[in-house]
Amino acid sequence: MEIFNYMEKYDYEQLVFCQDKASGLKAIIAIHDTTLGPALGGARMWTYATEDQAIEDALRLARGMTYKNAAAGLNLGGGKTVIIGDPFKDKNEEMFRALGRFIQGLNGRYITAEDVGTTVTDMDLIHEETDYVTGISPTFGSSGNPSPVTAYGVYLGMKAAAKEAFGVDHLEGRTVAVQGLGNVAYTLCEYLHKEGAKLVVTDINKKAVERVVKDFNAVAVDPDDIYKQDVDIFSPCALGAIINDETIPQLKAKVIAGSANNQLKDSKHGQIIHELGIAYAPDYVINAGGVINVADELYGYNRERAMKRVETIYDSISKIFEISKQEGIPTYLAANRLAEERIARVSKSRKQFLRNGKNILNGR
């Protein structure tokens, strides 16, 4: 790929290549935008087929974090680390400590966290070399597992989407199809069950399905059948790109609200579901509870304060529907608009401050 052309097109600030021969570390740190504050984004470890794929993933994910953090109201920019390697075979202590030293060298421009293929233990190793890491063990003052907090945010965002679609935000008596039953989805099902919602669920992990069926009286269906269920709400909590040409014609739900990342296979699918009248809660806004939670660690973690901030997801989703209606645009574009306008306001304010400072120094 033509790296500088790509960076210029989407206005990236920095791309850092990290190599440590002794540990086998090969990592890429992408910093997209620090207008709102230091770039925050997790460290992902994956077996990329090519180095170009790893670079592209780092850049794409970093940009996504800029929008997620901005829309969540955080004073943080967007960044990401990708580590090239098999997370089940290639990890060692030296690798993550080396990465920690590279992050330390950025002097706070980038803060990392747990992501796909990395764990709290890995973050603890990074923490041996730098303070610019979140999601570490609770013994170091961390918040611990962010999944329950992410689930709470998704639950609140779903209620906001339900209000848009049905006129009321209570979920009692509503039927929700949940795709994927990992840690976040399990807690989400618990919230929904307690409110009196009916659950239709699926997962390739049969034990996960059995657990939810037993605990929450859910109805299980085959993975391929989840899209066509006669439900009020479809909640994708597993794979990305699942709103696509094949699945949209099957959907009967009036709301799409779930924790999965990158739910739209293409932007055109956001336009299609908008025209169909489906209330879509944009994924990077509704699933921001986890990043809100770990961001609170930067101030000395306070769970009550973090949960109060997570509760603003309801307001953010409501605001996105308002923008969508006012401007006649799909909600995924409305979410982008919300994030971009916040960044623009802060950028303008900062430039004005600097301009005023120069005027004072020049005696004007």
The catalytic site residues sit at: 80
Question: Cβ–Cβ contacts within 10 Å for residue 249, how many?
Answer: 10
Question: Cβ–Cβ contacts within 10 Å for residue 75, how many?
Answer: 14
Q: ∠314-320-323 over CA atoms, to 5°?
A: 145
Task: Dig out the tokens for 140 from the structure.
Answer: 């170091």
* Burial annotation 34-49 (CB, 10 A radius, 16+ → b, else e): bbbbbbbbbbbbbebe
Q: On the CB side of 51, how many CA atoms lie within 13 Å of its CA?
A: 9
Q: Using CA atoms, how far apart are residues 167 and 163, in angstroms rounded to an integer?
A: 5
The answer to whether the CB of 27 falls within 8 A of the CB of 81 is yes
**Continuous H helices in the chain:** 3-9, 51-71, 93-104, 120-127, 147-166, 183-195, 206-216, 267-275, 283-286, 289-295, 303-310, 312-327, 331-361
Task: Dig out the tokens for 62 from the structure.
Answer: 């970093």
